[in-house]
Amino acid sequence: MVRQAKAQRILTHDQIWVALDRLAARAGLSPSGLAKRAGLDPTTFNRSKRVTPDGRERWPSTESIAKALAAADSSIESFARLIDEDGGDSRSVPLLGFALAGASGAFDEAGLPSGKGWTETALPTAEDSHAFALEISGDALAPVYRSGDIVLVSPGTPIRKGDRVVVKTRKGEVLVATLKRRTARALDLQPLEAAQAARTIVASDIGWIARIVWASQ
């Protein structure tokens, strides 16, 4: 009797990187935060390092994966489970660099991800199916958010006074701020960027507003 060999599963480039994103999320870190904790260059797991300038896929080394597992106090068995589409207690959400959030076509009229430039990252489960993530670049929002931090934004979560929010104006400006007051006529905001003073934006100038519900450390 001849037994048929079981088809060997071939892992894809995206599966490995999403598993690393999930590993970082489980540890409460951004990919760059996980790299730092692992003693690697902070950019080792950044999205920009996953594809070469000429478009070729770049894979993480076994050494960097091993160091990441040690830093996250995880095992190779756990990592294998994270590779599965439904592995772990996180899910994938669209991810965009914050610097690109003001670009034309990045969001539709409802404030949901649209167009090119979006990738995916694994973050803790969000009840809002329209949730998306933004990766902070630069230190303009420090000390609240630093370069490499990832914020999870939920368009469907109710917003209250004191919440941190992302606001996009109809002119294309995107800012992160604390909501001071919201009326039918305007928003009173305190931008997190230290160089910006408190602002009032009239309702007719607001494209959309969404609450930040989670941020990596």
Chain segment 52-67, per-residue pLDDT in tens: 877 788 899 999 999 9
Query: What is the CATH classification number for the domain harbouring 75?
Result: 1.10.260.40
Closest among 190, 147, 192, 21 to 90, alpha carbons compared: 21
- How many Å apart are CA 68 and CA 33, to the nearest integer? 10
In a shared domain, residues 105 and 211: yes
Same domain assignment for residues 101 and 207: yes
Q: Which residues contact 24 (CB under 8 A, 6 or more apart)?
A: 30, 31, 33, 34, 45, 68, 72, 122, 216
| Cβ 32 vs Cβ 43: under 8 Å | yes
Residue 179 lies in a domain: yes
Residue 51 falls within a domain, yes or no?
A: yes
Structure tokens at 84: 């599965």
Residues 185 and 120 in one domain: yes
pLDDT in tens, 141-194: 988 998 888 899 999 888 999 999 999 999 999 999 999 999 999 999 999 988
For residues 165 and 179, the answer to whether their CB atoms sit within 8 Å is: yes
The pTM of this model reads 0.56
